[in-house]
Amino acid sequence: MGTRSAARRVLVLCAALLVAAQAAPLIADQLLALLREFGPGWCRLPVGRAPDESTSFVCTQIFRRPSIPGTVLLVLVLAAALAACHPLIRWCLSPIRDLAASIGAVGPQNLGHRLRPGPGNDEVAVLARALDDMMDRIAVSYEAQRRFAADASHELRTPLAVQRTLIEVSMADELTTEQLELLTDQLLATNERNERLIDGLLVLSESDRGLTTRTALRLDRITGAVLDAHRKRAAEAGLTITGTLHPRTVLGEQVLLERLVTNLVQNAIKYNRPGGTIDVRVGDDPALVVANTGDDVPPEDVPALFEPFRRRAATRIDHSGGAGLGLAIARSITQAHEGLIAASSTGHDGLRVEVSFPPARPAAEIDGRTP
């Protein structure tokens, strides 16, 4: 798209106004002279004669204030100049109007449309490039939402199809007590998976909306409570949990921070090996670190772990299955708290997840009660 400099057009308009302002008195004088020479004689008085009772009020005022005709004509000339500026103003703004027409044609079906203003540095080109950058971000976000909706539909369709099949089987034949118990267990397992998926989607949606309130919370205490709740499960899996928890304050919502730590710890337990370890640290920066042993994670595959419904095809200790939303929820919660989350892998032994939060009040300033 070619652009025409709005600044140059405004400059031309300003120059035209300056010329009109300088020429207006001269034009008014010329018009006044023509009016006196060729105009009607209804208000002319003989030389040396003053207005009397028969003279109209207007003529009397003109006689007493001879500048009135010139002032009136000057005002009329300036009004005519301003009226002539209207098409000039539209001409100055036409590049913006052309942009509006192009932007108005963009919709979900053509999010790839770009203005492409070229390398110019004029105002319209800068605006067009900013709009192109914005459209890039919108297109990425729209595609992510579309993919998320498609993945969520697929994830929900599969267990619902399993439930339908199990119910149809139970209706087709009479089942023994043992078969009925097996069918019931399978239906309950499928239903629990649906509940986990829906719960994960709700948490993801809630955290994507951002925080409604912010409270100073002790992240070390929240992490300690989550670790205590998972020590038995880790011990049953043959894992060792170690924690180094220094006082750290975070401004946020306790429920979401608990979910963040829980997801990271559960992920570290699930993708581990018998006899492995989970090391959890809380400090200033990064605020939270969760590292575990486990199968190899190629470094190039690490960023994809934070995408919804992405599951690693790796050895698991916990085979209960998940919704594939754990790390996606962790990322969303971290972003809602204006933080950053990153994972790293050496490619040969597990995963290390680091979470950073903005600095908050020192932990000593928070009252002594557990949040």
254 alpha carbon, distance to own chain's centre: 24
Question: What is the predicted pLDDT for the residue at 65?
Answer: 63
| CA–CA gap between residue 156 and residue 310 (Å, rounded) | 15
Structure tokens at 187: 């239906």
Confidence of residue 364 (pLDDT cuts 50, 70, 90): low
Q: Which candidate, 350, 354, 353, places its Cα nearest to that of 297?
A: 350
Question: What is the predicted pLDDT for the residue at 96?
Answer: 76
Residue intervals of the chain classified under CATH 3.30.565.10 are: 215-365
What does CATH list as the number for 215-365?
Answer: 3.30.565.10
Structure-model confidence comparison of residues 267 and 105, the more confident one: 267
Question: What is the predicted pLDDT for the residue at 347?
Answer: 64
pLDDT digits (tens, 9 = 90+) for 139-163: 877 776 776 676 667 667 767 777 7
In this structure, what DSSP letter does residue 66 have? T
Find out whether 337 and 256 touch, Cβ atoms under 8 Å. Answer: yes
Average pLDDT, the chain: 76
Confidence of residue 270 (pLDDT cuts 50, 70, 90): confident
Question: What is the predicted pLDDT for the residue at 357?
Answer: 93
What is the layout of strands, in order, in the sheet containing 240-245? 240-245, 277-282, 288-292, 351-356, 340-344
Confidence of residue 248 (pLDDT cuts 50, 70, 90): very high
Query: Which amino acid appears at position 331 of this protein?
Result: R
Question: What is the predicted pLDDT for the residue at 129?
Answer: 84
pLDDT digits (tens, 9 = 90+) for 177-208: 787 788 788 788 777 777 766 776 676 666 66
Query: How many alpha carbons fall within 13 Å on the CB side of residue 356?
Result: 6
What is the b/e burial string over 104-118, where b = at least 16 CB atoms within 10 angstroms of the residue's CB?
eebeeeebeebbebe
Structure-model confidence comparison of residues 364 and 164, the more confident one: 164
**pLDDT tops 90 at residue 355:** yes
Find out whether 258 and 297 touch, Cβ atoms under 8 Å. Answer: no
Question: What is the predicted pLDDT for the residue at 279?
Answer: 93
Question: What is the predicted pLDDT for the residue at 1?
Answer: 45
Question: What is the predicted pLDDT for the residue at 316?
Answer: 46
pLDDT digits (tens, 9 = 90+) for 39-60: 555 565 554 555 556 555 556 6
Q: Is residue 286 reached through a cis peptide bond, with omega within 30 degrees of 0 on the bond before it? A: yes
Which of 29-33, 186-190, 267-271, 329-333 is the least confident region? 29-33
Q: Which candidate, 267, 275, 352, 278, places its Cα nearest to that of 314?
A: 267
Give the domain 131-208 fold: Helix Hairpins (1.10.287)
Question: What is the predicted pLDDT for the residue at 287?
Answer: 93
Residue intervals of the chain classified under CATH 1.10.287.130 are: 131-208
pLDDT digits (tens, 9 = 90+) for 77-136: 778 777 777 777 777 777 777 777 777 777 777 777 777 777 777 777 888 888 888 888
pLDDT digits (tens, 9 = 90+) for 298-354: 777 888 888 776 666 554 444 455 556 778 888 888 888 889 999 888 666 788 899
pLDDT digits (tens, 9 = 90+) for 206-241: 666 667 778 899 999 999 999 999 999 999 889 999
